[in-house]
Amino acid sequence: MTRDAPRVWVTRALPGAQATAARLSAAGLTPVVAPLIETTSLPGPVDVLDGHDALVFTSAAAVREVARRTPVRTHPVYAVGEATARTAGTAGWRVVADADGGVNDLAGILAAAPPGLRLLHPCAAVTAGDLSALGITVTSWPVYRTDRVSSGWEDALADLTAGRLAAVLVQSPSAAAALAALIPPASLPGHVVAFALSPACAVPLAGTGFREIAHPPFPREAALLKVVADTLVGAPPAAPARH
């Protein structure tokens, strides 16, 4: 990778940000890891597992939380997204279905699940999608919350407004909202692009001044990073990075 490779701000929480950064590097881009959000564990018992037949995971963070709390891996898993499914499989669960899309796609899969299946959804305190609203009978189990990071992103923000970044990557509505709150009005150079995992992640960035807010046709990281690489690799570099 050359020092002129387009620089992309990775805003997602750790440890996922490091994995995304490695994939950006492999694509010929220079990642700038400066998370805008972090996850915090929520207290609670694990005996709630006993009354359910299967787990529904819609985030890798929820998988890590449950894996940390209990060694039990007997529940089959329904997952949203390749990263969530991969994390669950690596942790020892049997993934019976991976919705290739979002919560709406998972709802269709769950609607065809065995009748009477008692589903438990370990999730964030505030979720991006509501399975119950989609007609799925499921018990929500908040195991973590997402908070904005108070510092550590200052240099990345300065690089963004000074034109030293080519793009910003947002992979959750919460990260997008945190970014939107930080950007001063009319401060972005005309070349900077925002890449969002999904339309829901793009919504908070409307009106912030990005040249473009792009997202892939379906919300998978591989598809997102392909859009990033196709757009930026070979593009003229932004202003020189600080050294």
pLDDT tens sequence across 98-138: 876 677 777 778 877 888 889 999 999 987 666 665 567 78
Q: Identify the pLDDT of residue 133.
A: 56
Q: Identify the pLDDT of residue 130.
A: 65
The alpha carbon of 168 is separated from its chain's Cα centroid by a whole number of angstroms, namely 13
DSSP 80: E
| pTM, rounded to two decimals | 0.83
Q: Are 48 and 75 in contact (CB under 8 A)?
A: no
CATH 3.40.50.10090: does it fit domain 7-36+149-232? yes
Alpha-carbon Rg for the chain, nearest whole angstrom, is: 19
Query: Which residue spans of the chain are classified as CATH 3.40.50.10090?
Result: 7-36+149-232, 39-147
Low-confidence ranges of the chain (pLDDT < 50): 1-2, 239-243
CATH number listed for the domain at residues 39-147: 3.40.50.10090
